[in-house]
Chains A and B, each alone.
Chain A
Amino acid sequence: MAVPEINLDICTGCGDCVEFCPSGTVTLVNGKACIVRPEDCNYCSDCETFCPPKAIRCPFEIILVENGQTGEVNG
């Protein structure tokens, strides 16, 4: 399960991501954003949207599915 990428060098610890995360996945640890419950993250990207210094990224992989197969070896 992929989770948002947090650049701790940029994170200011403002807590907006914690406030806006609908699944309670993010919290502040030592004054920096941290994904503490990755299994609950639904990758909605709200944390990326509301992060003022743009410290959080939610990149999407763009995958071509051929004949119902993604090309992955293990699903």
Chain B
Amino acid sequence: MSSSTDFLASLPYFSMLGPEEIERIAGETLDRSYARGEVLFLEGEPCHGLYVVKSGSVRVFKSSPEGREQVLLIARQGDSFNDVPVFDGGSNPASASALESSVVHIIPVDTMLSMLADCPAARAIINLFATRLRHLTTVIEDLSFRSVVSRLAKMLLSLAVVQGGASPVPRLTQDEMANIIGSVRDVVGRALRTLERAGAIKLEGQRIMVIDPEKLREMT
């Protein structure tokens, strides 16, 4: 066995595989070197595969439009990252850059999925987990980068439905809204009034009327 094969065999992802399968995966795996600060990939780009740090360390992070960053993971030797898009088929949910001179293995998407070819049930389950993990990444992004007003606007946009339509009208207390967006009811109450003053919503008794969805979208 080569050193790469031994390294891959030591990873949790491949711990159940036999030597022949590990050899095949090693043969399809790419090695890339990155200088300190160099970007491996960007959020929103197509996924090239599962990344595993062979040496060095890599920072996986989300960026806000204003340039703020939220680090999701510092991946060190043996750690994998960019797992989500490999298994849900979407784009990269975060960006990655080298914290120091680093070498990574890139295991192509098709190679990773080939391990699940004989078990569509497992593929479906892992796809579901990946989708949920991507959603949690979005939650972290919202909590890190968005104000309460912005988070509330986003939540109202996602929940509001036409009365009498196919979906039932959601009913939430201010406490429940606060729990969803990670805030407290007093702040939610003030945020609702901010949205109303901006002309995006209208508070009418027990109703929160989304009267200008475009304005609300601008405030997310």
A interface residues (Cβ-Cβ under 8 A, vs B): 1-2, 42-43, 45, 48-49, 57-66, 68, 70-73
Known: A62-B208, A63-B209. A70 touches B162 (CB 8 A): yes
CB neighbours of A58 from chain B (8 A): 173-174, 206
Q: Is B120 an interface residue (CB 8 A)?
A: no
Q: Tell me how far the C-beta of A17 lies from the nearest C-beta in chain B, rounded to whole angstroms.
A: 15
Segment at the interface with A among B43-51, B106-114, B138-146, B153-161: B153-161
Interface membership of B67, Cβ < 8 A: no
Complex CA–CA separation, A58 to B165 (angstroms): 23
Q: A43–B175 Cα gap in the complex (Å)? A: 15
Residues in B lying within 8 Å of A, measured CB to CB: 156, 159-165, 169-177, 185, 189, 202, 205-211, 213
| 13 A–B contacts from the bound complex (CB under 8 Å) | A43-B205, A45-B173, A49-B185, A59-B171, A61-B169, A61-B171, A63-B160, A63-B163, A63-B209, A65-B209, A70-B163, A71-B162, A71-B165
Alpha-carbon separation in the docked complex, A68 to B156 (Å): 17
Question: B-side binding surface: helix, strand, loop or mixed?
Answer: mixed
Residue of A nearest to B202 (CB): A65
| Given A48-B173, A49-B185, A62-B172, A1 contacting B205 (CB threshold 8 A) | yes
Shortest CB–CB separation between residue A47 and chain B, in angstroms? 12
Which chain A residues border B175 with CB–CB below 8 Å? 48
In the complex, besides A61-B170, A63-B208, 11 extra interface pairs with C-beta distance below 8 angstroms are A45-B173, A60-B172, A61-B163, A62-B160, A62-B169, A63-B163, A63-B207, A63-B209, A65-B209, A71-B164, A71-B165
Closest to A57 in B: B173
B206 touches A64 (CB 8 A): no
Q: Which 10 A-B pairs have the closest CB atoms?
A: A2-B206, A59-B171, A64-B160, A71-B163, A71-B162, A71-B164, A61-B169, A65-B211, A62-B159, A62-B160
Chain A residues with CB below 8 A from B206, complex form: 2, 43, 58-61
